[in-house]
Amino acid sequence: MWKSLYSLLKKDYQMMVSGKFFLVAVGSLLLYTLFINFGYLNFMHAEIYNVYLYDPAGTQGEVSQIVHPVASLEDMDAALANDTNGVGIDASSGSPCVILYTAAEKADQHRKDYALSLLHTDGGHSAEIVGSNTPEMKQRREITCELLFIEIVAVGFLGIASVLFKEKQMGVIRVHAIMPLKKSLFVFSKIFLFLLTDLTFAALMTLFNVGLADTGNILPAVLVQTAILSLIMALVGFGCTMLLKDFKQFSLAYLVIALFAATPVFLAANTSIKMAWIGYHPFYYVYMGLKNAFFGMPVTTPVYYICAACAIILLFGIVEAAFRKEMGREG
Binding mask 182-211 for other proteins (x = CB under 8 A): x-----------------------------
Between 192 and 305, whose beta carbon lies closer to other proteins?
Answer: 192
Per CB under 8 A, does 11 bind other proteins? Answer: yes
- E strands along the chain, which residues? 51-54, 67-69, 87-90, 97-100
C-alpha span between 42 and 39 (Å, rounded):
6
C-alpha span between 129 and 136 (Å, rounded):
14
Q: Mind giving me the DSSP string for 169-180? A: HHTHHHHHTTSS
Between 34 and 179, whose beta carbon lies closer to other proteins?
Answer: 179
Per CB under 8 A, does 7 bind other proteins? Answer: yes
Per CB under 8 A, does 331 bind other proteins? Answer: yes
Quickly count: other Cβ atoms within 10 Å of residue 107's Cβ.
11
Closest of 146, 161, 182, 138 to residue 24, by C-alpha:
161
Between 4 and 33, whose beta carbon lies closer to other proteins?
Answer: 4
Between 7 and 59, whose beta carbon lies closer to other proteins?
Answer: 7
Contact 190, 12 (CB under 8 A): yes
Question: Minimum distance between the CB of residue 235 and other proteins, rounded to whole angstroms?
Answer: 23
Question: Minimum distance between the CB of residue 316 and other proteins, rounded to whole angstroms?
Answer: 20
* Touching other proteins, residues 132-191 (CB under 8 A): 167, 170-172, 174-175, 177-182
Closest of 137, 278, 285 to residue 217, by C-alpha:
137
C-alpha span between 118 and 99 (Å, rounded):
15
Question: Minimum distance between the CB of residue 166 and other proteins, rounded to whole angstroms?
Answer: 8
Question: Minimum distance between the CB of residue 132 and other proteins, rounded to whole angstroms?
Answer: 50
Instruction: Give 242's contacts (C-beta < 8 A, 6+ positions apart).
Output: 164, 319, 322, 323, 325, 326
Residues that bind other proteins (CB under 8 A): 3-4, 6-7, 10-11, 14-15, 18, 167, 170-172, 174-175, 177-182, 327-328, 330-331
